[in-house]
Amino acid sequence: MTDVLPRLAVARARIPDIAQSAGVSTATVDRVLNGRGGVRAQTAQRVMQVAAQLGYLPAQAPLSPPSARPLRIAFLLPAGTNRYLRMLGDYIDFAQDQWAALDMKCRTHYVESFNPNELAARLLHYGQRSDGVVFMALEHPVVRDAVNTLADQGVPAITLISDLSNARRLAYVGIDNRAAGRTAGLLLGRFMGPRPSGKIAMLAGSLNYRGHEEREIGFLHLIESTFPQLRVIGLREGQDDSERNYMQTRKLLEQHPDLAGIYNSGGGSDGVARAIVEAKADQKILFIGHGLTPDTRALLIDGTMDALITQTPQSMVANCLKIFRNVRDQRSPLDGVKPIQFSIVLRENLP
């Protein structure tokens, strides 16, 4: 690939040039550059790297008029072992050439997970050094106050994946989490079939995330209204940590050896899977999770995980940057911004 790039970079690159250099189809390149799903994260990163090296820009994202300096955007993501969030952060930091071509400078900063005071302090710290911040919100008054303080200072904030109520944030970028929870409930209920046990359990990262709370509400409501024969035995918080989820799942299976299904609405699904495999239950334990990563992909392939719900990092980042560009260009923040859609991924439709 390295021998081809210098020759192609001489002229304006085309989609077929990017496809040839990245070793993928033109359809795959089109999906990546336009922020659509259905492409593996590693493939999408390779395509973005080649596109950046060739100086290619999507037709729908023309350069803005030159400004005094690029827009500085800070992405604040929870620290920890959540592989999907790490993949999102890597994508943001990896595509610096692409953001520079859009007259933007993006940086990822990791903050202590599930600590609202720390998140509020980091919001104020990076907000005063940036033209905009994007963050995964914890539902807490101190976080709300920090967002409102930034708004008073003219620094817009976008909530990502999980929203924040009654705050003057600029926009929310992410899926409809209640619909995602309902979808997980429908999948689990349909997959259950005529099983002797109707016990199912739910794990969450933390209900301090409004997104996780909304997934729980949607899941429980769907189960109650559509599958009344199923019994949800309780909710446990794993803080998106693989080891913690492993211990929580082990305790669940020890207390309820006839457990028939698990829905993990947060990260750390590999820990849940490890406990399921070790349990060697008489019946297959159904498992629904979130976030397509190399780990969850492997769990789908080997059958430990039955289905997952995911959203593409590319489309979320693209929406965030489009919103900030709209504000800079004095347009409505959501002008041309399409809602984020989630995908249901099974072993047989893995991208």
> Same CATH fold, 177-311 and 71-173+312-340?
yes
What CATH code would you report for 71-173+312-340? Answer: 3.40.50.2300
Three-class DSSP category at 253: helix
Supply the DSSP symbol for 207: T
Residue owning tokens 């794990």: 203
The C-alpha atoms of residue 28 and residue 43 are separated, in whole angstroms, by 9
Read off the pLDDT band of 113 (50, 70, 90). confident
Residue owning tokens 């082990």: 250
Q: Is residue 49 predicted with pLDDT exceeding 80?
A: no
Read off the pLDDT band of 12 (50, 70, 90). low
Please report the pLDDT score of residue 63 as a whole number: 42
The C-alpha atoms of residue 240 and residue 125 are separated, in whole angstroms, by 25
Say if CB 322 and CB 336 are below 8 A apart.
Answer: yes
What percent of the chain has pLDDT above 90? 72
Supply the DSSP symbol for 236: E
The C-alpha atoms of residue 257 and residue 310 are separated, in whole angstroms, by 29
117 conformational bin, left if phi > 0, alpha if psi -120 to 50, beta if neither: alpha
By mean pLDDT, which of 52-61, 103-112, 138-147 is the weakest? 52-61
The C-alpha atoms of residue 212 and residue 214 are separated, in whole angstroms, by 5
Domain ranges of the chain: 15-54, 71-173+312-340, 177-311
By mean pLDDT, which of 87-101, 164-178, 262-276 is the weakest? 87-101
Say if CB 52 and CB 95 are below 8 A apart.
Answer: yes
Give Cα separations from 14 to 31, 36, 44, 110, 185 (angstroms).
14, 19, 17, 36, 44
Residue among 323, 337, 317 nearest 131 (CA): 323
What average pLDDT score do residues 7-18 get?
Answer: 61
The C-alpha atoms of residue 172 and residue 150 are separated, in whole angstroms, by 16
Please report the pLDDT score of residue 1 as a whole number: 43
Task: Give the pairing of strands 171-173 and 132-135.
Answer: unpaired
Domain 177-311 has CATH 3.40.50.2300: yes
Three-class DSSP category at 237: strand
**Dihedral sign computed on CA atoms, order 192, 195, 199, 201:** negative
Q: Is residue 61 predicted with pLDDT exceeding 60?
A: no
Q: What is the DSSP string of 159-174?
A: EESS--TT---SEEES
Please report the pLDDT score of residue 282 as a whole number: 83
Q: Report which of residues 42 and 195 the model is more confident about.
A: 195
Residue owning tokens 């050439």: 97
What average pLDDT score do residues 282-290 get?
Answer: 94
The C-alpha atoms of residue 285 and residue 304 are separated, in whole angstroms, by 8
Task: Give the pairing of strands 286-290 and 261-264.
Answer: parallel
pLDDT in tens, 197-213: 789 999 998 889 999 99
Please report the pLDDT score of residue 41 as a whole number: 65
Average pLDDT, the chain: 89
Q: Report which of residues 160 and 234 the model is more confident about.
A: 160
Residue among 322, 314, 268 nearest 38 (CA): 314
The C-alpha atoms of residue 110 and residue 81 are separated, in whole angstroms, by 11
The C-alpha atoms of residue 34 and residue 73 are separated, in whole angstroms, by 20
By mean pLDDT, which of 28-37, 276-285, 312-321, 322-331 is the weakest? 28-37
Please report the pLDDT score of residue 38 as a whole number: 63
pLDDT in tens, 322-350: 999 999 999 999 999 999 999 999 999 99
Q: Which helix (H) or strand (E) holds 235?
A: strand 231-237
